Structure 1
Amino acid sequence: MPIDPQNTLLTVQAGLAQLSTLIVSYSLSAIGAVILLVVGYIVAGLAERSISGGLKHIHGFDATLRHFFSKIVRYAILILVVIMVLGQFGVQTASIIAAVGAIGLAIGLALQGTLQNIAAGIMLLALRPFRIGEYVEVGAISGTVEEVGLFATRLRTVDGVYVLAPNSTLWNQPVRNFTRNGVRRGDITLTIGSWNDIDFAQKTMLSVAAAERRVRREPAPIAFVSTIGDTGVAVSLRYWTSAADFFATQIDLTKRIKQAFDAEGLSVPAPPPDAQRPEPSRTRQ
């Protein structure tokens, strides 16, 4: 059958006209979608900061919950913006919601472990065994809490290592919170020769502790013999200090007690058995 050039030209012209109309229509929709995405992203960020700043001014409001609620507002706005963008292209929002529900159900069935993390995250946020800024130890995981999310918790170890722990792992094990009570007990043990004056060594420890302002007066520090060996006696100092000063206080006290023992002639460690024993250290009156 011969092709009519005139009909072919008319068909091509009609197709090009429809194509140009579609390009113009969808170009405007695409530009509007981009603008909507940019504006929605900015609004979501502003809303997150506003919620966080507003809750920060509420006395006693927990920092962990403040961070959680501000994130929820941010993600809710972003989801709403995505639905509006799809609506720009003629997609029915009711269909979107139904599709999201079906996809969520399928993902929930496929990722049951993830749902466990979400449930654990909700329990962690509700019961708050730890908060942002607290130092905790959970099994083999330890560090300062930086963020508690729905899926995982971010921590920073004492040597600056980034740790992201699943919430289900943190929820299913005992939590040791070293910051929550505000105070911690420290023990420092040094060994002296068995011929040294034990009472004098204990008094030396207590005098060093009394001179340290970070050591609490209540409960009062105590010094005692922890172990006895053949040639040495382990003398310990037990004291209380604030959780924030724990490590610095322990480091400084250990150094000062060792220096005090050296100055008073208390042998650390004991000399070999065949060495001549020195005269007993003098006892302070």
Structure 2
Amino acid sequence: MERQATDVIVATRAALTQASALAVQYSFSILGALLLLLLGWFLSRLLHRWALSALSRVRGIDMTLAHFFANVLRYAVLILVFVMALGQFGVQTASIIAALGAAGLAIGLALQGTLQNIAAGIMLLVLRPFRVGEYIETKDVTGTITEIGLFATELRTSDGLYRLAPNSTLWNTPVTNFSRERTRKHDLQVTIPSDRDIDNEIDRLLTIAREEPAIESAPPPQVFVDSLAENAATLTLRYWVPTPQWFRTTREMNRRVRIAFGQSLPEPPAEAAPAE
């Protein structure tokens, strides 16, 4: 009986000794992990501010893109520090990294469309085929850009409607930007009877063009005979206008030529209206 009691006491002492050793060991591990997490958190915030400040000084970079890359750097540091903290407890970090890779692959497959929009958004922000305030046209979307995000682009249509377009639809299709170039051309056609003096009518058209202050002097306006018929001739007045004034000027020139020649003219394309 005494022998059994002695064995119990010895086993209890051994267990207490082992528990004390484990407590000391894991207390240091916990303390080290907490310090590592704290340092990692401060480091991630410091790198985030540094990256954001550095990217904001890069000429032409969009702030949305700067915030995105700064956040990617911050969370990458946090994930690395978290894995290192688990290593303080003897956890096999290689298996964790493999699990994170598998989880990332699964998430990527599940969010394939979303990631495609993010990739397209990054390319749109880097290459800048259009900017906020510019009027664009694609096969599916037409309107003035109001905001370019990582997932989608917001537009305002010519009739004042809100439109949201996924970035992938804007990246994978040709885009016509009506606002990017400084000047735009306009061809205005007038049909005159064959009994009129063509040279005199050309001078009249050129005079009307020179009286409009918005029309560019270089290249100067020009008039040429576009086509001839048995009883009529078609003259084309070609001129260039600063892009912001294109819509107003083309309508004004239509009005002036209509008054001077007494005939109705085809309206310029409606897509230029928001470029005013």
TM-score, with structure 1 as normaliser: 0.58
Deviation of the 1:102 alpha carbon: 7.3
Q: Secondary structure at the match of 2:164?
A: strand
Q: Deviations over 1:144-168 (max 9, x none)?
A: 1111111111111222122211211
1:149 maps to what in 2?
Answer: 149
Matches within 5 A, 1:1-285: 62=60, 65-69=62-66, 105-262=105-262, 268=263
1:80 maps to what in 2?
Answer: none
Q: Secondary structure at the match of 1:126?
A: helix
Q: Deviations over 1:162-221 (max 9, x none)?
A: 221121111112222222121111111122222222222211111011011100000011
1:277 maps to what in 2?
Answer: none
Could you say what the CA RMSD is over the residues aligned between the two structures, in angstroms? 3.4
Q: Are residues 159 and 61 of structure 1, via their aligned partners in 2, closer, same or farther at CA, if it must alter by over 3 Å?
A: farther
8 Å CA contact 2:143–2:156 kept in 1: the answer is: yes
Tell me which amino acid in the other structure corresponds to 2:173: Q
Tell me which amino acid in the other structure corresponds to 2:183: V
Tell me which amino acid in the other structure corresponds to 1:66: M
8 Å CA contact 1:204–1:261 kept in 2: the answer is: no
Q: Secondary structure at the match of 2:62?
A: helix
Q: Are residues 194 and 65 of structure 1, via their aligned partners in 2, closer, same or farther at CA, if it must alter by over 3 Å?
A: same
8 Å CA contact 1:145–1:153 kept in 2: the answer is: yes
8 Å CA contact 2:65–2:122 kept in 1: the answer is: no
Tell me which amino acid in the other structure corresponds to 2:124: L
* Equivalent residues, number: 195
8 Å CA contact 1:201–1:261 kept in 2: the answer is: no
Q: Are residues 121 and 127 of structure 1, via their aligned partners in 2, closer, same or farther at CA, if it must alter by over 3 Å?
A: same
- Paired with 1:229 and 1:142, the residues of 2 have a C-alpha distance of 38
- Paired with 1:190 and 1:99, the residues of 2 have a C-alpha distance of 72
Structure 1: where are the runs of 5+ without partners? Answer: 1-50, 78-97, 263-267, 270-285
Tell me which amino acid in the other structure corresponds to 2:242: S
Deviation of the 1:107 alpha carbon: 3.6
Q: Secondary structure at the match of 1:260?
A: helix
TM-score, with structure 2 as normaliser: 0.60
Q: Secondary structure at the match of 1:227?
A: strand
1:33 maps to what in 2?
Answer: none
1:23 maps to what in 2?
Answer: none
Tell me which amino acid in the other structure corresponds to 1:159: D
Deviation of the 1:259 alpha carbon: 1.0
